[in-house]
Chains A and B, each alone.
Chain A
Amino acid sequence: MSDNTAEKPFRIQPGLTRDNVHFWTGGADNELSFLCCADCATIVHPPQPICPQCLSKNLAPKPVSGKATLYSYTINQQPWIPGFEPPYVIGLVEIDEDPSVRLMTNIVNCDIDKVEIGMPLQVVFEEQDDGIIFMPLFEPANG
C-alpha cells in the first residue's frame, strides 16, 4: 500500500463523527477498518449502533485485509466538482471478507481501458491535507 500524492484531485471530505472516524482515519495505520459485531462477526456498513443480523450492540471497529473485487465501475467524463477533473474511474467494490459490503471508491494506478468487472483489487490510501483523513481508493491487486 502506498500513498499516491502525485495526482491528488480536490475532494469533498467526510464530516468526521464518533461513528465513522475509524473508517476515514484508519489509513494512517494502513488499515481499512469496518464496524464489526463482536458476537456474530457481521461487518456493519455503513456504521449503525446495532448489528442488523443478531441485534447485538457489541460492535467495534476491526481492520480487514484491504482486498476487494470490482463489482461495477463507470468512467466519469463529466466535470461535477471544480478541481476534481475527469476522466476518472468510479468503482463499486466488494470487500473480500463479505462481498455484500460494497464501497464506492476510485480505481487508481490502472489504465482506464484495463479496468474490468471482477478484477481483484487492493486498498491504497490517499492522505488528505489535514493529515487526519485517508481516502480508501483501490488499485489492481499486486499492481
Chain B
Amino acid sequence: MAHVDNLERKAAITGIGQSDVGRRLNRDPLELTADACLQAIEDAGLTRDDIDGLCTYPGAGIAGAPGFTGGGVNEVQDMLRLKLDWVNGGMEQSGQLGSVITACAAVAAGYAKHVLCFRTVWEATAAVGGRKLDMQPLREKAAARKAQQAEVVEDKPHKKVTGSGGMGAIPRANGVQQWSLPFGAASAACWIALCAQRHFHEFGTTREALCSIAVNSRRNAGLNPKAVYRDPMTREDYFNARMISDPFCLFDCDAPADGSTAVIVSRVDAAKDMRKPVIKVESIGSAIRGRPSWDQWDDMTTMSLRDAGAMLWERTDYKPDDVDVAELYDGFSFITLAWLEALGFCGKGEAKDFLKDTSNIALEGKIPLNTHGGQLSAGRLHGYGFLHEACTQLWGEGGERQLQNFGKSAPKLAVAAAGGGPLGGCMLLSAE
C-alpha cells in the first residue's frame, strides 16, 4: 500500500451522539450540546474522564449570526468539567469537518487519545428572537421602585448619555463583506447561485439536476424520524416553489434547525476496548490550492471542493467506485452537485446526466446520497450531520433508512463532506 504512512490512519471514530433536532426547540443551545456530547461519550463506551481533547467549529462568539454557534470549547469544557490535554475551536479551517480532521491529526500526534468534537446550531429558534429575556417586567419593577424613591429623595439630574450613532446611521460593511453586501448579495444563497448559474452555462446543467437532489433528500428524510421536513415532495412540488435567488428555489436551500452533533475521534491504539467496532479514518481532504474567496476562486463551477476532493483520493488506493454511501453537504443543493463531481462520483460537468433522475443517488442506487435527508430536509446541522449519518450507516444503525433494507450489503466505505465556497473538508471512512 502506497499510503500507509498517512497519519490520519492512526485515528478512528469511536462514538457519535446527537441531541433532539427540530424547528424552534427553544432550548438552551448548551443543553443541546451537552446532550450530544454525553451521548457520544457513552456510545464510545467511554466516560468523561477518558476525554482528553475537545474540538469544535466555529467556536464561541460569532457576531452577527444568530444561532450559528451553541458554545465554544471553553464553555463546554467547563460545563462538563473536562480535564484536557488539547483544545481547539475556530472558524478559519477547512470547513466544518476541518475540526474533525484536525482532531485526527491531534490524536495521531499523541496530543490526545480521545477527542470530543461537536457542532451546535440553534438558528431556527434564534431567527424568531427566541430565548431572549423579556426585560419588560424588570423595567416596570425598576420604574416603580424609582417612583417610590422620588417621593422621598429629590432625583438628581441624569447625566446625558450620547449614543454611539453619529454618522453611523447607515450600516457599514467591512472586510470581505464590503464586496457583496452593498449589492444586495446578503446571503450565501446569492453567492452559490452565481456558481450554479455558471455551471449551467458551461455544461448545460438545468434545475432538473438540483431537483433530483432535493427530491431524493426528502424521500430519505421520510425514513428518518429526526428529520424536520418529512412530507413527501414531488418534482412538481419542487418546480412550484417560490424562487429565492435564481436558479435556487426554496427547496434548494437548507432548513434552519436547532440541534447538536458530537463525534469521538480516538487514537486507534487507544481504542482497543470500545463499545462498538471502530470506524477507521482512511483518508482526508482539506486542500485549498486557489484563492480562498467566494468570488475570486478561479473556477466557480467547482469551488474549493475540487481540491479537497482531489486530496482525499491522493491519500488512498480506494477509488470512487469503492464507496458504498456518500453524505455530501447541501447548504444549497448545488453544493452537493459540486461535491459529486469533485469526488469523482461523476465526471466534471456530467452531473446533468448523472442527476437526470434520482436512480443513481437513491437508497437502491449506484451511490446512495444523503441517506438521512441532508440539511435540505433533515435540518441544517451544519456539516456534522453528514459525518454522523456516515457513521450511522457504517454501524448499521440507520433504522428504516439503513441501506441493507434496500438490497444493499452492509456498507463498508463512506464519504462525508462538508462546506462550500472556500470552505471544504471531506473524510473517507472505513468499517473494514
Find out whether the CB atom of A15 lies under 8 angstroms from the CB atom of B174. yes
> Whole-angstrom distance from the CB of B413 to the nearest CB of chain A?
35
> How far, in angstroms, from A102 to B296 measured CA to CA in the complex?
6
Give 1 or 0 for each of B146-189: 1 = CB within 8 Å of chain A CB: 00000000000000000000000011111010111111111101
Find out whether the CB atom of B184 lies under 8 angstroms from the CB atom of A106. yes
> How far, in angstroms, from A100 to B194 measured CA to CA in the complex?
16
> Whole-angstrom distance from the CB of A119 to the nearest CB of chain B?
12
> How far, in angstroms, from A72 to B170 measured CA to CA in the complex?
29
Q: Is the interface of B mostly helix, strand, loop or mixed?
A: mixed
Find out whether the CB atom of B189 lies under 8 angstroms from the CB atom of A104. no
Is residue B197 contacting chain A, with contact meaning CB distance below 8 A? yes
Find out whether the CB atom of A135 lies under 8 angstroms from the CB atom of B182. yes
Is residue A78 contacting chain B, with contact meaning CB distance below 8 A? yes
> Whole-angstrom distance from the CB of B79 to the nearest CB of chain A?
35
Chain B residues contacting A4 (CB-CB under 8 Å) are none
> Whole-angstrom distance from the CB of B295 to the nearest CB of chain A?
5
Residues of A in contact (CB 8 Å), total 35
Which single residue of chain B is at the shortest CB-CB distance from A92?
A: B194
Is residue B243 contacting chain A, with contact meaning CB distance below 8 A? yes
- Choose one: B170, B187, B190, B198; the contact of A13 (CB below 8 Å): B170
Is residue A117 contacting chain B, with contact meaning CB distance below 8 A? yes
- Choose one: A11, A72, A75; the contact of B182 (CB below 8 Å): A11
Give 1 or 0 for each of B289-300: 1 = CB within 8 Å of chain A CB: 000000110101
Find out whether the CB atom of B170 lies under 8 angstroms from the CB atom of A74. no
Using a CB–CB cutoff of 8 Å, the interface residues on chain B facing chain A are 170-174, 176, 178-187, 189-191, 193-195, 197-198, 201, 242-248, 295-296, 298, 300
Using a CB–CB cutoff of 8 Å, the interface residues on chain A facing chain B are 9, 11-15, 20, 45-46, 71-78, 80-81, 84, 86, 88, 90, 92, 100-106, 117-118, 135, 137
- Closest A-B pairs by Cβ, 6 of them: A74-B193, A80-B186, A14-B178, A72-B198, A15-B172, A75-B246
Could you name 21 residue pairs across A and B whose Cβ atoms are closer than 8 Å? Answer: A11-B183, A12-B172, A12-B181, A12-B186, A15-B174, A45-B296, A71-B198, A71-B300, A72-B195, A72-B197, A74-B190, A74-B193, A74-B194, A74-B197, A74-B248, A78-B244, A90-B184, A90-B194, A92-B198, A106-B183, A117-B198
